[in-house]
Structure 1
């Protein structure tokens, strides 16, 4: 018998949807509320390494990623003008034959997962969130912004890096800390020579290209910015093109005109991270994903560890008849992987900001990928 019969998920992002899908497949009743009435995941592309592919396979979604995204192998890291610095292998993760690396449009992955959430039988309410959560010894009574009230055995908080739930129930936790870099993302026509994740490591700059379909790829640039500052959106194309000029490699230079086109759909975000010490629950409210383990994109694993956490939580809730035992096992399985991703990503960022040892940078990436390939 499962530890819970009815669960509420607050937040319809990747981790929340993963938990909802897997809980329903275990026969547990699930409601999900998402404040965005369009349920629209913004952004350009997302890199998916093998561990994340394995998690999506667990949800039955891997074949759709293959069909609608791009599955590749390996990571190539170059000096700014082109010479190869190192090749990092990306073998299939333990227990799976999925691809070791790849990419997909973030909105495309969101649509794949939202469709699966509905197909699983989750009761989804859009444009809705909670107003109050009153916890008792054996459940939680939740009042919603639409005026309704429902009772649950467990509430899963997955409302993102700027979580209102965290502010309310974990008031001692500070806001995510700006880490000294910003990331630019843009959509580009796929270059014939880009058949895997390819990066150029420059002076306080890193540029990457990753295929996300047969015809398109996405570009990202991480840029050192000591102070978090507002950048006028009207200037984004010119700023991005200027950053690209620091990479004399012909492939990068050929893409500069595309950075100035509206189709580039440029996005800029300052980078921050957060790692909340366990336990991640307060009574019958448990937080997962970016609410407690928000990482910078240096290991391309933020979405992946969130999806994993949703899966592990659902499996432990279904496999144990005691809620306290299920939550203890969840915490035991998730802490080290999430800690490693957040802290190693921060270390990579520190090396880039301080123009540190590129060999150490490559070693951390390689060792992290090996660790992530292990079972969850």
Structure 2
């Protein structure tokens, strides 16, 4: 019998919901508290690498993901005018029977995971979060934002890069800006977009796009980080439109969509790496709450999903919950995650510094080889 009978997961992102599915289907009572009121409508587009697909298959949702997403096995490199410079076969890091990459609408992935978590028996509770935690030797007492309270064997902070759970347990790590900002739009997919294509050059560090379904895609432009708190939607659309004028090809079809979409998103690239252990007592951090990286390697969601898989394995196999369990969890994950975070940040730094002789292909091969191994 598992050493845990009830678990609270704070945050209904990919890592939190994955953990909920794995624990609930093994008979553990799981509550998932999500501060937003619509837990299955978070975000726009997401790029899911093969090692993440491997975890999604373990969760039993691969067929749904494959049906709604857009799979591809190569990466295109283009000149600013849109002409193709190279087509690079992508590594199938999840194994030969899974595609290298799937682009997907993030709300559709969230809906799949929420539905699967509930079907497994987990309670997903939108509009609820944790106000305070009181730890005991054998669990944690939780006071919720609605005034209710409950006691859990383990509490999992899966509440993102600005995790309130992380602060509550006294972990003082904070995200660090990398110096880049990304403009994103989710829009219709032109017929010629069948994989991720990237442009290095022109007015931005990166101009790229990724198909997310039969009719949809997301496109993005990466430049130096700028203050953006006071930008209106019109300002964001105007700036992204102006940046896009440096690119041809598919960008000529994307450009008219930017002004009318009403949903141009701008965020900074940030990184975070919590030194071990990732727990304090019976409260443990996973996903972006423990580690986060700029999307230069598209490994953020994958690493969070791997956290969920490893933590579930350890919790369900344990006879007792003690520090050795959490130490084993951190030991299984830390070096792999550190390599991904540091490599992602290094790729961004090379671009910011204009390094022309950087071994980008070599770094990408090393990371692909690492994440191809089981976590």
TM-score category, normalised to shorter length: over 0.9
Q: CA deviation at 1:291?
A: 0.8
Q: Supply the RMSD in Å over aligned alpha carbons.
A: 1.9
- 1:280 and 2:278 correspond: yes
Q: Give the Å deviation of 1:73.
A: 0.8
8 Å Cα contact 1:102-1:197 kept in structure 2: no
CA shift at 1:83, angstroms? 4.8
Contact kept? 2:2, 2:319, Cα under 8 Å: yes
Where structure 2 has 5 or more consecutive residues not aligned to the other structure, the ranges are none
Query: Which residue does 2:348 correspond to in 1?
Result: 349
Q: What's 1:329 paired with?
A: 328
Report what 1:241 is aligned to. Answer: 241
> Would you say the 8 A contact 2:42–2:110 is kept in 1?
no
| Structure 1 residue 192 corresponds to structure 2 residue 191 | yes
1:18–1:59 contact (8 Å) kept in structure 2 = yes
Q: SS at the partner of 1:260? A: helix
| Rounded Cα–Cα distance in structure 1 between residues aligned with 2:366 and 2:171 | 35
Structure 1, unpaired ranges of 5+:
none
In the alignment, is the contact (CA less than 8 A) between 1:317 and 1:327 conserved in 2? no
* Match status 1:142 vs 2:142: yes
- Give the 4+ runs in structure 1 shifted more than 4 A: 83-86
Once the two structures are superposed, what CA deviation does each residue of 1:210-235 show, in whole Å capped at 9, x if it has no partner? 1111122111111122x544333321
Give the C-alpha shift of residue 281 in structure 1: 0.2
What residue in structure 2 maps to residue 304 of structure 1?
302
Where 1:195 maps in the other structure, the secondary structure is coil
* Counterparts of 1:57 and 1:375, CA distance in 2: 13
Residue matched to 2:10? 10
Cα pair distance change 1:124/1:189, threshold 3 Å: closer
CA contact (8 A) 1:201 1:207 kept: yes
User: Against the structure 1 CA distance between its residues 261 and 358, is the aligned structure 2 distance closer, same or farther, given a 3 Å change threshold?
Assistant: farther
Counterpart-to-counterpart distance in 1, 2:232 and 2:352:
23
Whether the 8 Å contact between 1:50 and 1:90 is mirrored in structure 2 is no
Aligned to 1:49: 49
Q: Tell whether 2:266 aligns with 1:268.
A: yes
> Counterpart of 1:116?
116
Structure 1 residues 365 and 228, CA gap change in structure 2 (3 angstroms): farther
Tell me if structure 2 keeps the 8 A contact 1:43–1:267: no
TM score, norm. by length of structure 2: 0.93
Query: Per-residue displacement from partner, 1:263-291 (whole Å, max 9, x unpaired)?
Result: x6321111211111010000000011111
Q: State the match for 1:256 in structure 2.
A: 255
Separation (CA, whole Å) in 1 of partners of 2:257 and 2:219: 11
- For residues 220-239 of structure 1, the aligned pairs below 5 Å read 220-225=220-225, 227-230=226-229, 231-239=231-239
Post-superposition offset of 1:183: 0.9
Task: Kindly indicate whether the alpha-carbon contact (under 8 Å) linking 2:133 and 2:168 is maintained by their aligned counterparts in 1.
Answer: no
Give the deviation of 1:59 after TM superposition.
0.6
How far off its partner does 1:338 sit?
A: 1.4
Q: CA deviation at 1:146?
A: 2.3
Name the CA distance, whole Å, in 2 between partners of 1:276 and 1:153. Answer: 23
